[in-house]
Amino acid sequence: MEKEIIEKYKKAGEISKQAKIFARSQIKDGTKILDLADKIEKLIREKADGTAFPVNISINDITAHYAPDINDETILKNGDLVKIDIGVQVDGYIADTAFSVCVGEKSHPLIKAAEDAVNKFIQEIRPGKTIEEMSALVEEVVLSHGVNPVRNLAGHSIEQYLVHGNISIPPTKITNKQQIKEGAALGFEVFTTNGEGWVKESSPTLIYMLLYPKPVRLRESRIILEKIVNEYKTFPFAKRWLKDVTSPLRLQLALRELVNSGTIKEYPPLREKSNAITAQAEETVLVFDKPIVTTKI
């Protein structure tokens, strides 16, 4: 990996750290998640080339992919287990990082389990390590805390302009002898739960991503597609970012046409299957003999 590229990953990581510090300072009983997401995204846009995806604020059994909706009235309450997932991009090079907070509490066993698993991964990852070795290691750490990993969510490689690359590293042992190469960029994340350890798709969908521009019929669909291509490109975007394009009803119709035509992809919220609470930890790691963790505070 070229030094210039490493520096771009580091810059994105430094901005993500600032975003995490700010976000932590705002999480308290009564915080409106729409305001929180808007403020974090504003901070990122002022300092970076943009967000790599909408800020995810997933609460309790909602595990991932919840970005506040237009006029979202959800507020945080004491006892909520909140996951904040943040993406920053500099020239398409991405910092992908997440943390969890139990509102009103200093700690939580699920958070400790997720953080310990990510930290152990960082300690052990080196070029040549296999996906099998690393997945087994992570599973062992999580289970040692007496909780379950969320088995169908995994750490992943990162490419320029692409949040999820071809490498997937699950939090439970799999038979996969693929070696992780020097210079690989990984968004390594672990989700933990006191439930079954599986997530399922929920609703409403609030995050989308461009697949391939195609002809569409509705005028609003064409306007939205042009905006996606020019502003968001291959990065996921939030429904609420399009609120000024048209009315809520026409916006929903346009998004549906774009989905049905195969132009954009949906990322529905993911809920723990047994409705149990979940925690998340994630850092971006550049794999070398001495790994570079760009996002760790």
Our answer to whether residue 257 is catalytic in this structure is no
Our answer to whether residue 156 is catalytic in this structure is yes
Our answer to whether residue 282 is catalytic in this structure is yes
| d(C-alpha 238, C-alpha 236), whole Å | 7
| d(C-alpha 86, C-alpha 54), whole Å | 7
Residue of 69, 156, 220, 272 marked active site: 156
| d(C-alpha 82, C-alpha 197), whole Å | 17
Residue of 85, 116, 139, 283 marked active site: 85
Our answer to whether residue 2 is catalytic in this structure is no
| d(C-alpha 92, C-alpha 71), whole Å | 30
Residue 162 DSSP code: B
Residue of 49, 91, 164, 266 marked active site: 164
Our answer to whether residue 96 is catalytic in this structure is yes
- Quote the tokens at residue 156: 């992943």
Residue of 41, 69, 96, 257 marked active site: 96
Our answer to whether residue 189 is catalytic in this structure is yes
| d(C-alpha 32, C-alpha 27), whole Å | 9
| d(C-alpha 287, C-alpha 31), whole Å | 37
Query: What is the SS3 assignment for 248?
Result: helix
| d(C-alpha 282, C-alpha 84), whole Å | 10
Helices 248-260 and 219-227, axial angle in degrees (round to 10): 80
265 forms bridges with which residues in the sheet?
Answer: 209
Residue of 41, 220, 272, 282 marked active site: 282
- Quote the tokens at residue 166: 């071809």
Q: Annotate 2-37 with DSSP letters as a single string.
A: -HHHHHHHHHHHHHHHHHHHHHHHH-STT-BHHHHH
Q: Exposed, middle or buried by CB within 10 Å (0-12, 13-18, 19+), for 112?
A: middle
Look-up: residue for tokens 């991964």?
A: 121
| d(C-alpha 294, C-alpha 284), whole Å | 6
Residue of 115, 189, 257, 283 marked active site: 189
Q: Which residues are catalytic?
A: 85, 96, 156, 164, 189, 282
